Structure 1
């Protein structure tokens, strides 16, 4: 069947209700981004307050990632047990506890422990947020709606950089951590008034409530009833199937999980968070230390603005073109930074700065939003939560590796670090080209067909884009 036939006449009227749901769920992304950004400046004060070595400050940075890995693994089952909405609420609770604990920490052990708690909250929301948005969105707006989660991450990073710009990182780092509790509170308040995911409701036999949610998100009673029947059919087909049994018996689940894990890890291997975690150090190394706080904030603002490119284009040109084009552009920018270390191009701080801006722009409309989108949409309903949790945990593994190794790599040789990131992006291009199908406009219940060699492919869509 043609994907065009799946788009009803209301496609140009994505409901305000759907947008509101996506924006509220995106508050989890705001927490995620704030955590990435706040440590860039706060670690300066933490280092001085507790007299930390490079290894110890790397541990403070990466502790939240260990918690996020744990949270992501737990979140898959939690999403099935209590729903996507309440998993987000618990994510907000953990984030509040972690932020306040960091703000009142008196030694290294305490701040590391509460950074782990912060991470658990972020891990919960990094699974439940995109999953919830994908399940309440329409096929023709799902890309843009899930991309709002990445937009929220970029806004969170920028907000944290602004906080660092106006607060003295040497003496006011505790305030920086404490302000994060406001974001956790906002997520809790917002999610408490949002509806449960219609697909989760169908799995619990609450068909009338699910139909009511679908009517509001789709904007059409007829389309809502058709969508409800499609969800019920798939849920019945997959009922009673565990993650492990599905992984063993379903070629489609295995192929989708390989794609999701690969994308999740490679997103971090792109080096984007090395830039955000250690932006002040990178700028110091290239002779721009006097302006490092202002330039770091500027990097955050560019990240926000460039994400709108993905929101505008993802449901128009598709996932694959944006991913391939953006990753290639990011790789070229990193190669240029690497070349500055060889002497072929003068090691000019301005050249490095411009290329960092280019890399951030490229990431913001490709690997940034589209990895979260792919992870949230490619799995069958019966095991979607568990698979999203597993895939997201690999994102946090990659994030942990980058956080642990980047500071030493940047201090040893910034140009070498960017050569490594460029090589990783070359692998990503090949991986996306050969493994990722185009899912623009395809209903969630039909995407499984792309990964199952025993099923016919959806007409009009091919794995080559």
Structure 2
């Protein structure tokens, strides 16, 4: 692995093969299911609450139950993925998505609905851990951001679809049909994954280099330098086997700790900034401050549409702009939008004449959040962890996401109930400001660097944002300058 005082140079941007696009797009169906199954509760909750006569506390239980399952699935998926492979894990997740969606749609009581949503959440959490890692291990380094973020765009598409279904079918079809329809794309994902390759990195780690070469050849352009890429992966695998840094215990090692802080901290803030509260509770929130039910559902559709558009825009620019820079540019706007919204709520400015300002604040918050921090959340988790602890790291990342989401969703309505909608928005505005400070302090710029190069930076203790600012990605296949490829990181085998 290279060791370098990196010299500037533009990152190469190799062409993406059609099969690589197909693999990333197919895996992204899991992102659609994530978005739909979590987002459908926003429109369906009004009908569910009426059918079961739910208190605001029980509404939180029904909404947040999927997040409890997601926390379990996110933490547990890594071990399953390491043992059985990335592809088989996604196949199992697709089957669980289908079964759990049908079970939720048939639930005869609110409690059984919540339990079914826990099972559905296990699939959501496992999907959020496994699919970005699977795509990241297939993708070429310089185009990894775009390909992994197809998952995030699919989440946005799922949320938009859920909001349109919730609005268009509200009062027309039962909420049960809204929930059950998710079984169809789950079945498509289940079948399609059988045609995709296993992760070359996982195959090499299992001592199957010939299969790894064939798998990599399927997702690269003809004439690509497969040998160099496979050698880099094999070297990383060799070092991970010799290393004492493995699994969950490995995450506590001093040289891995910066990755854990950057990855899990970013993951926590993607939820704590309040975006999921907007996705789940916007109709309930707006109805509570005086909006008509139909108007609240229409605003919800607009929020979902903005989420999709901005996530797609983020996908298009993240490899050029950079992960860190994108978050730092957008977070101040998100914080300001919520601060103004909180002021409108606190002053009671929610009447018909004030509605455009309320809606504008909601939409602007979504523009800045969905186009910034949300873009990099899952991407960061797929990039920062060394191979020997990658399954544990991505599991910790997913568990942090869903645990934070559970905390937020399980307390949002109670927070609004106790301190008012205005006070709640100010709390979330403050959390957006804290997210800015965290990204500025702890998250380096990873654009254009291979997974092996990121691991090398960790091993050499050069994972601070300032280190990466002085060492832009070069045109080497591993993200470091060709001139220093012969050197090795110090003490690599002993760590």
Query: Given the alignment, which residue of 108, 111, 114 partners 1:109?
Result: 111
TM-superposed deviation, 1:346:
7.8
Residue equivalent to 1:276: 279
**Correspondence for 2:54 among 34, 43, 52:** 52
In 2, Cα distance between equivalents of 1:463 and 1:130: 28
- Greater relative CO, 1 or 2 (CA 8 Å, sep 6+): 2
Selected match of 1:96 from 98, 102, 105: 98
Aligned residues: 462
**Alpha-carbon offset, residue 98 of structure 1:** 1.3
Preserved contact between residue 438 and residue 463 of structure 1 (Cα < 8 Å): no
Match of 2:235 in 1: 233
Taking structure 1 as reference, are residues 313 and 459 closer, same or farther at Cα in structure 2, changes over 3 Å only?
same
Gaps of 5+ in 2: 473-495
Question: Cα gap change, 1:17/1:111 in structure 2, threshold over 3 Å: closer, same or farther?
Answer: same
8 Å contact kept, 2:159–2:304:
yes
2:367 is aligned with 1:361: yes
Equivalent residue number for residue 438 of structure 1: 445
Per-residue displacement from partner, 1:34-82 (whole Å, max 9, x unpaired)? 0221101112222222222211121111111111111111101011011
Unaligned runs of 5+ in 1: none
My pick for the range that moved more, 371-380 or 284-293, is 284-293
Residues 443, 464 of structure 2: 8 Å contact kept = no
Q: Please say if residues 48 and 175 of structure 2, whose CA atoms lie closer than 8 Å, have aligned partners that are also in contact.
A: yes
Mapped to 2, the partners of 1:100 and 1:368 lie a distance apart of 29
Query: Quick one: distance in 2 between partners of 1:239 and 1:121?
Result: 30
Tell me how far apart the structure 2 counterparts of residues 343 and 6 of structure 1 sit (CA, whole Å): 51
Q: Structure 1 residues 222 and 101 mapped into 2: Cα distance closer, same or farther (>3 Å)?
A: closer
Once the two structures are superposed, residues 257-307 of structure 1 have per-residue CA deviations (whole angstroms, 9 ceiling, x without a partner) of 111111111110010011011111222244432412222112111111111
- Would you tell me which structure has more helix in proportion to its own residues? 1
The correspondence of residues 43-442 of structure 1 with structure 2, limited to 5 A, is 43-168=45-170, 172-239=174-241, 241=244, 242-248=246-252, 250-289=253-292, 290-343=294-347, 348-412=354-418, 413-442=420-449
Q: Is the 8 A contact 1:251 1:452 kept in 2?
A: no
Distance 1:463 1:78, change over 3 A: farther
User: Take 2:255 and 2:302, find their aligned partners in 1: how far apart are those partners?
Assistant: 43
Q: Which residue of 1 is the match for residue 492 of structure 2?
A: none
Q: How far does residue 124 in structure 1 lie from its aligned partner after superposition? A: 1.1
CA contact (8 A) 1:252 1:449 kept: no
**In the superposition, relative to structure 1, how do residues 454 and 49 fare at CA in structure 2: closer, same or farther (>3 Å)?**
closer
Residues 252 and 223 of structure 1: is their aligned pair in 2 closer, same or farther, counting only changes over 3 Å? farther
Mapped to 2, the partners of 1:104 and 1:328 lie a distance apart of 44
Report the TM-score, using the length of structure 2 for normalisation.
0.88
Say which is worse superposed, 345-354 or 401-410, in terms of deviation.
345-354
Q: Matched residues in 2 for 1:3 and 1:199: separation?
A: 28
**Deviation per residue, 1:56-113 (Å, 9 max, x gap):** 1211111111111111111010110111111111111111121111111111221111
Q: Could you say what secondary structure the match of 1:140 adopts?
A: helix
